Structure 1
Amino acid sequence: MSGDNGEFGDARGIEREYGRRRTLSVSWWQIAVTVIVGGNIVLQVTTNPYASRRWYVIALTVIVLARVVPVMIYRQRGRTIVGAQGITAHDAIQTNTRAWHDIYDIRAELNANGRIEKAQWTTYVYGNDGRRTRLPYFDDWQLPDFHAELADLRAVSALHRGMAWELRPETEDLIRRRTRNSKLWGAVYVAAIVVVCVAFVVMA
């Protein structure tokens, strides 16, 4: 299946590809605001006569670029490829491949960034180790028949794997543990940004 040409492939086949069919899920106004803020920061870096204040401006510049650049790369590179060997997810930077024997489940989940992105549902592939990988462009913003497509993929891949999708308590515990850790690191990241912003306001 090709997500770029807007055509659904053979629903009975395992070979399929999901790419960008519609505009980015992330709202363009947010990218525009980020670019404006980033431009202002760059202007301050180049014109601020106080060299001692440049460190936090540079830090904010790095944060802005870390937000904008991956989004633009993801737009061109993001892709999910399903084949006989497993599932490959191409995001902005990394390529993650999971062989079928390493895949525990394929799940649709409510998008945690629902207030930012247009997609309400997105898809994750979970490994037997509890790690999850988001499948680029496999969401209800890019796929009008998202839930039907996911159900078909699960049915076909179960036949391909030679086993049904079954829940295992030990793996579910791993998933919950990794989810908690992920939320913790996310909170640390947000706190770091707040500290930098506060330092920028105080020292400006």
Structure 2
Amino acid sequence: MGGDGIEREYRRRRQLSVVWWHLGIDMLVYGAIAVQTATVDPPFPAGRWFNIAILVLISVRGVSALLYRWRGRTVVSARGITAHESVRTVTRTWHDIYDIRAELNDRGVANAEWTTYVYDGDGRRTRLPYFDDWQRPDFHAELADLRAVSAQHRGVEWELRPEVEDRIRVRARHRKIWVAGVLTAAVAGFFAFMFLA
């Protein structure tokens, strides 16, 4: 930690067993589907392309999980907060940060009940890797301390602004609609592929 206590790095402390079990089960299911479509008699129409797509999905998911395990961390400094994810790195300066919030985990696969997001003035959020109550048993106290110490770097106190809160709510609604649309399209595409091919 630096002299003012702002320098911090949040990395993996505990195993993410639920995530790895989930990844393993996904690979087994996808692998079984690929084997079944490859061995069906008569041959499954477009089976080769289906198997290639399944293998690409398995590979991308596995590589992404390994990269996140290796690269994932949250770095806090006097300049701002940097979130290192599997591939991308997002940096928010203190001037750009509107709020740092603990939210109930909506991903459904991690062990954490609470996770942390940084919001900017446009209502965009960035998840902070490994800054959650699974990796840090003192999570809520650590978040309160970070908010208190970072106030001097921001130049203003933490306060809610109605126009930004509205943008956050709109973006949250758009995320839910987008996820529902993607899931619906994926399920419809899967059934169309299975029954119409």
Fold equivalence (TM over 0.5): yes
Identity of aligned pairs, percent?
59
Equivalent position of 1:153 in the other structure: 146
Q: Which runs of 5+ in 1 are unaligned?
A: 1-8
1:78 and 2:63 are equivalent in the alignment: no
Task: Give the structure 2 partner of residue 134 of structure 1.
Answer: 127
Provide the rounded CA distance (Å) in 1 between the counterparts of 2:52 and 2:113: 35
Contact 1:44/1:57, CA 8 A, preserved across alignment: no
Distance 1:151 1:78 in 2: 22
CA distance in 2 between partners of 1:26 and 1:118 (Å):
6
8 Å CA contact retained: 1:14, 1:157: yes
Q: Which residue of 1 aligns with 2:98?
A: 104
Contact conserved, 1:45 with 1:57, CA < 8 A, in 2? yes
Paired residues of 1:56 and 1:199 also in contact (CA < 8 A): no
For 1:93, the aligned partner's letter is: V
The 3-state SS of whatever aligns with 1:98 is strand
2:10 maps to 1:18: yes
Q: 1:69 aligns with which of 40, 63, 66?
A: 63
Counterpart residue type for residue 198 of structure 1? F
**Partner AA of 2:82 in structure 1:** T
Q: Pick from 18, 22, 46: which aligns with 1:52?
A: 46
1:88 and 2:85 matched:
no
Q: Residue 23 and residue 11 in structure 1: after superposition, are their counterparts in 2 closer, same or farther (change >3 A)?
A: farther
Shift of 1:24: 1.8
- Do the aligned partners of 1:60 and 1:196 also contact (CA within 8 Å) in 2? no
Gap regions ≥5 residues in structure 2: none
Structure 2 partner of 1:197: 190
Q: How many Å separate the matches in 2 of 1:199 and 1:44?
A: 18
Alpha-carbon RMSD across the aligned residues, in angstroms, is 2.4
Q: Is the 8 A contact 2:34 2:50 kept in 1?
A: no
Q: Which residue of 2 aligns with 1:28?
A: 20
Please give the per-residue CA displacement for 1:135-185, whole angstroms capped at 9, x wherever unaligned: 000000000100000000000001222211010011111111111111111
Normalised to the residue count of structure 2, the TM-score between the two structures is 0.87
Instruction: State the 1:41 CA deviation.
Output: 4.3
**TM-score (structure 1 length as normaliser):** 0.85
Number of matched residues? 195
Work out whether residues 38 and 51 of structure 2, in 8 Å CA contact, stay in contact via their aligned partners in 1. no
Displacement of 1:46 after TM fit?
A: 6.0
Distance 2:127 2:140 in 1: 16
Aligned partner of 1:189: which letter?
A: V
Q: Tell me the equivalent position of 2:136.
A: 143
